[in-house]
Structure 1
Amino acid sequence: MLKKRWDNFDFHEENGESMNSLQQRNIAVLFEILSKHKNENILFSTHGAALSSILNYFN
């Protein structure tokens, strides 16, 4: 299933979330946090799929 999600960012199981949806949601929150905390150090903690989708966005 993981390979399917990464090969097709719109793939998801029934009642599941696609990588595309996960990425959009996480990037929106990331930019919101960054804009509210300019010039501050920020520590993020998340799960692997969320972090991977964020890193993929910037790649």
Structure 2
Amino acid sequence: MPNPKHRHSKQRKNKRRTHYKATAPALTTCSNCGAVKMPHRVCPECGYYRGKLAVEKKTASA
């Protein structure tokens, strides 16, 4: 197995890593309630996905 002959400097390491950036998540609005949600996922506020009820919201029971 080949091994590195020389140590890479911090500058070289950091220059290589400049393209490894975290991107902001794409957000959309729910067509049912207008809440902000991630695309292609069930709305966490109302439980609807593509106009249909996908998950029933749990209610606080005493």
TM-score of the two chains, using structure 2 as the length reference: 0.26
Q: Which has the larger radius of gyration?
A: 2
Higher relative CO (CA 8 A, sep ≥ 6), structure 1 or 2? 1
Richer in helix (by share):
1
